Chain A
Amino acid sequence: MKKLNIVVLAKQVPDTRNVGKDAMTAEGTVNRAALAAIFNPEDLNALEMALALKSQIPGTTVHVLTMGPERAEEILRDSIFRGADGGTLLSGREFAGADTLATSYALTCALKKLNPDLVVAGRQAIDGDTAQVGPQVAGKMDLPQVTYAEEVVEIKESTLVIKRRLERGVETVECPVPAVITVNGTAPDCRPKNARRVMRYKNMPLTVWGAADVDPDMDQLGLNGSPTKVKKIENVVFRAKECKRMTGTDTEIEGMMKELIASHTIG
């Protein structure tokens, strides 16, 4: 395969593993200030897949694209420390409050400028859990997509053979490039940041694009372009209210099965 210009889509997300009372703003969006900001975990798997391709296909470059407030630049720098060649931040008031539709639109506008041979993204972000942005980008770019990717099994002349991790097993597909791949959390962990790269690139300037830089239809950006409205998010802790003890005899188990089927808990 000829050298690829890979763009990784990444997102800085609030660490939703610790959601408190102030996790939401009055407008119904996530209150980013109240939560620690981290590199979305599956985007790190995506970055690793891209970096692995870079080391296998000579001349390949990996560029990371993210949309978010100024501090989202942290994950671009993090990516560069891990081996990416560069990063671009889409930032500005016009992009704010975007749902997946407006996000994928903004990213697509930027991607058209970056003109990638391959787009790699994490399956989903832990703040929204929608898994929609990757596929929507593929749709808008009119590119084939491979979702739930776990491993690039083989690199052929003009196609990639990719293993997908599905709920009930594994599927191996072959897809032409350009394409969009979304990567599962079961894919290999991302390599660590590299000390030498940290010393070299910690002050490297990054590209920041505002709305004007990507030539968009303003009606499709940010809150304007977002039909989704979040009413409320909350932290739900599952807790059993009552419990039944059984000794494990066949009759007991049979009885329990019938009961669960009757209550539509299973089946």
Chain B
Amino acid sequence: MSNFYLDNKDLQFQLDHPMHRKIVELKERQFALRKDYEQAPVDFDDAMDNYRRVLEITGEVCGEVIAANAEEVDHEGPRVANDRVVYAAGTQRNLDAVNAAGLGGMTLPYKYDGLNFPLFCFVMANEMVARGDAGFENLWGLQDCAETLNEFASEEIKEFFLPMVSEGATCAMDLTEPDAGSDLGAVMLRATYDEKSDRWLLNGVKRFITNGDGDVALVLARTEDGTKDARGLSMLVHDKRDGGIKVRRIENKLGIKGSPTCELVFTNAPARLVGDRKMGLIKYTMALMNAARLGIGAQSVGLCEAAYREALKYAHEREQFGKPIIQFAAVSEMLSNMKAKLQGARALLYETTRFVEIYKQYAHIAAERDLTPEERTEMKFYNRLADAFTPLLKLFSSEFSNQLTYDAIQIHGGSGFMKDYPCERLYRDARITNIYEGTSQLQVVAAINGITKGVFVEQIAQYGGFEELRRKLDEMVARVDELDKQTPGYKDFHARRLVETAGWIVMAQLLERQTKEHEMYVDSAEILAKLAQSKIDEAYTYLMHSPTGDVELFNRVQNEIL
């Protein structure tokens, strides 16, 4: 029996973080929800008992069903028949299993038949699903769309759609179009209000839509005739049963092949408006994307876990020159680095999750009653941290998942290049993580604010330790501030070096903090600190020797035309 929760001590450790007591109390409204819902926990211990039990069920479904189907799903993939998506048989079995286990609507309130679990449980579940099959994580993780409805939609919409998701309906977020990828402000799909049916009718094309044939679709569309930018866009929700969306084709992808990536044609597809007009991109899509980035963080960490385990197993089994290859220094160093990165990324994942969760819970509570001044301050504090940490997490975890799956193949040698071992699938699956939901380059753009506004420096000081690395970060930030005034573009040029420096320090600090609670982190913390030191030294040397002329130097390639 394979259980992805019970076999993972690091994951179990994350569940017991001291800050979770506060989060659970907020989520359960000081356990007052028990009055109306018999399934609600009576106290903190009761709640944690529920989480453990359900994570154990999730771990079993992931280990016994989802992981077991992964290879077959990768080979078979979904197909289009009569304008609809037909999932691979294994994907359908996965969906049946997660639905039988009642894992839909994990974070949704009891009122909408949800489990009302904290976000950290959902992230843990996501991570385990991704470890089993990263492509399937997309389908299952998209239930997160319901959170955006829960946050911004009218009560009428919530009462209609959220119980569907709790019962296992799948979701899609229909954002990208052929000419609107990273630049979503250019979305052209038209929404026109039809008075007779009191619905908006959608017309146009969407592309690269994950699970585009899902039961519930959140659609970014242009409601304001004649506009051309983000201010004319609104968010709408569509029920698949109403018809009007056809799947024109499914992309043939490098990885996550079980997850259907669709091109959709909308012909008078009826939809309802979510929240206010014109706020579609500016507010709701940004919330959706932030949640999705946390999801990719979980997906990436799941891939890291899978890659590390495959590599470790093989390194013990494979013998060369009369001994297992793990006994060669070159291999054991790779594995040690992989483990440190895996645990560092996971620590960052759950730290970010906590920041996101606290401010989101206050936002929900604010809809029920006025927040106290202290609560408002706290909400702002965590909102600011969440905005800075989310892109940092997405950047590091996705890059790490690429590095670890690459290393896993390397450890397998020639065998890893063949289709005989799972590591080649993991490698292909990981490749999308630093591209979708905003490329790594865009995560840097989002995270650099955290550098210039001082969020990272403050939080890093709060965590403490690592004085030398912090001093280097301060020097780098000071130099960039100064030289950017002389040569605009200097900050952009060095943004990634600054963000990565902050990220390495944060991860080293988080693992260091974990060593105080559990000895299993001692080695990884020391190894991650070494990696941080060397990466920061490299960035520091580059940046401190970089004249303002570098901006122009690296722009010159723009004149090169083939």
Contacts and interface: CB of A to CB of B under 8 A. Distances in A.
Interface of A: 191-200, 202
B101 A202 contact: no
B101 A194 contact: yes
A200 B53 CA distance: 12
Contacts of A202: 49-50, 53
A191 B103 CA distance: 13
Interface in B48-99: 49-50, 53-54, 57, 60-61, 65, 97
Contact of A195 (B41, B65, B101): B101
The prevalent SS among residues of B at the interface is helix
A2 B32 CA distance: 43
29 contacts: A191-B100, A191-B101, A192-B57, A192-B60, A192-B61, A192-B97, A192-B100, A193-B57, A193-B101, A194-B57, A194-B100, A194-B102, A195-B54, A195-B101, A195-B102, A195-B103, A195-B106, A195-B115, A196-B102, A198-B53, A198-B54, A198-B57, A199-B41, A199-B50, A199-B54, A200-B38, A200-B39, A202-B49, A202-B50
Contacts of A199: 39, 41, 50, 54, 115
Nearest to A193: B57
A98 B50 CA distance: 36
A193 B54 CA distance: 9
A195 B38 contact: no
Contacts of A197: 102
B39 A196 contact: yes
Contacts of A198: 50, 53-54, 57
Contacts of B61: 192
Nearest to A199: B39
Nearest to B58: A195
Contacts of B103: 195
A98 B553 CA distance: 87
Nearest to B57: A193
Given A196-B115, A199-B54, 4 more contacts: A192-B97, A192-B101, A202-B49, A202-B53
A194 B96 CA distance: 12
Nearest to B166: A196
B103 to A, nearest CB: 6
Interface in B292-346: none
Contacts of B50: 198-199, 202
A157 B473 CA distance: 78
A202 B51 CA distance: 12
B438 to A, nearest CB: 31
Contacts of A200: 38-39
Contacts of A192: 57, 60-61, 65, 97, 100-101
A238 B152 CA distance: 65
